Amino acid sequence: MTRRPTDLPAMIRRALAAQAELGVGEMVLSVRKAPEPRAAAELVARSARVVGVQQAMADQERSGPLQNSLDIAIQPQYPSLEAHREAICTCQRCPLGKTRNKFVYGVGSPTSEIMFVGEAPGAEEDRLGEPFVGRAGQLLDRILAAMGLTRSQVYIANVLKCRPPENRDPAPDEMEQCFPHLREQVRILKPKIICALGRIAAQAMLRTSAPLGKLRGQWHTYENTPMMVTYHPAALLRFPQYKKETWEDMQRLMARYQQMK
């Protein structure tokens, strides 16, 4: 993404306002450089390798995962997020397929190196088919702005792709059925860094029942990718006092990301 010089004052104003909201005492003036999109050639080459097997994969998706002799589910693999979204957007693996309005796959840059993972769509997300567009999402946008980023420069997805009625916590069976979708999104995107937003996403990705207090603010690894855990934006709306720690987590994340370059 190219920023025109004339965009900078507005971007800086947004970043400063967002940092002030997060309780930053001293203003951090440097606006981060946008993550570079991956080389298009890499994506084309990856797609080319799988041309011809897409139909087979779609057939397999319809008939469910294959089981190998060790009873490990073998999931189909897709060449792009778009191909994956198309194949799974009518998913009926769990009862939420019947109650959803819209399937909420994910949003952002398909070449982003930074991925945020939340819990499940809420009412607004279910209405619009896009993650993090309600009040929590607006706060996430402001956190990104404080980092010098926009939602189109990162990738955002949830553990569940369909809204649990009344915004209840995802049921274990729903998570189990839906998790392969997220795993495939991560495999396709290959982010350099992941941020789990809140307990449900952190526990699901790390396969742990440890409380958020033990997980947040630390580096973990999800399938070889460094993962930071922080508070869910919805929790920050209820407990604004946690914003400062969230900002510290985001600074850790950006520092590590910059080191990777």
For ligand URA, the binding residues (CB under 6 A) are 118-122, 125, 131-132, 134, 136-137, 158, 234
Whole-angstrom distance, CA of residue 53 vs CA of residue 59: 10
Nearer to ligand URA, 22 or 120 (CB): 120
The Cβ of residue 214 has, within 10 Å, a number of other Cβ atoms equal to 11
**Smallest distance from the beta carbon of 234 to ligand URA, in angstroms?**
6
**Tally of CA atoms within 13 A in the half-sphere of 131 that contains its CB:** 26
**Smallest distance from the beta carbon of 22 to ligand URA, in angstroms?**
18
For 183-206, b/e burial (b = at least 16 CB within 10 A) is ebbbebbebbbbbbbbbbbbbbbb
Nearer to ligand URA, 31 or 161 (CB): 161
**Smallest distance from the beta carbon of 195 to ligand URA, in angstroms?**
12
Q: Which residues contact 103 (CB under 8 A, 6 or more apart)?
A: 88, 89, 90, 91, 129, 161, 162
Nearer to ligand URA, 79 or 131 (CB): 131
**Smallest distance from the beta carbon of 1 to ligand URA, in angstroms?**
22
Nearer to ligand URA, 61 or 125 (CB): 125
Nearer to ligand URA, 35 or 121 (CB): 121
**Smallest distance from the beta carbon of 136 to ligand URA, in angstroms?**
5
Whole-angstrom distance, CA of residue 204 vs CA of residue 201: 5
**Smallest distance from the beta carbon of 134 to ligand URA, in angstroms?**
6
**Smallest distance from the beta carbon of 46 to ligand URA, in angstroms?**
27
Specify the residue for token string 């897709």.
78
Nearer to ligand URA, 120 or 228 (CB): 120
Nearer to ligand URA, 108 or 118 (CB): 118
Q: Which residue is nearest to ligand URA (CB)?
A: 118
